[in-house]
Amino acid sequence: KAGVTQTPRYLIKTRGQQVTLSCSPISGHRSVSWYQQTPGQGLQFLFEYFSETQRNKGNFPGRFSGRQFSNSRSEMNVSTLELGDSALYLCASSGGFVAEAFFGQGTRLTVV
């Protein structure tokens, strides 16, 4: 069974630009969550999508948005990038059981 796939693995963007990250969940999983990981703050919850609807949202500014498609694949968008957005962005998929969330390898975003 294939795991969670995130693309691209690495990105370098300039301050002020926008970026879109992609996540393909484990087959059959309908829940996709996004997290930001930084050395200072650790792993922080961004939002969760289930059946194309945002079900939960963390405490991040509106520049961070996402969506989910009918095949459960999800994208995350960050607009007007800031230097502080440099982080590892992780996607997790779940079959519905809160304690079993499986993570992808992440997308390392560097904003210069």
Partner 1 sequence: QKEVEQDPGPLSVPEGAIVSLNCTYSNSAFQYFMWYRQYSRKGPELLMYTYSSGNKEDGRFTAQVDKSSKYISLFIRDSQPSDSATYLCAMSFVNQAGTALIFGKGTTLSVSS
Query: What's the min distance (Å) between Cβ of 45 and partner 1?
Result: 5
Q: What letter represents residue 5's amino acid?
A: T
Restricting to residues 16-45, name those near partner 1 by CB under 8 A.
31, 33, 35, 41-45
Tokens of 64: 């961070």
- Looking at beta carbons only, is 31 or 111 nearer to partner 1? 31
Q: Using the rule CB under 8 A, is 60 a contact of partner 1?
A: no
CA distances for 83 relative to 34, 95, 99, 111, angstroms: 19, 34, 33, 5
DSSP-based three-state secondary structure for 87: strand
Q: Using the rule CB under 8 A, is 94 a contact of partner 1?
A: yes
Q: Is the bond preceding residue 39 a cis peptide, omega within 30 degrees?
A: no
Residues forming the site for partner 1 (CB under 8 A)? 4, 6, 31, 33, 35, 41-45, 48, 50, 55-56, 58, 90, 92, 94, 96, 98-106
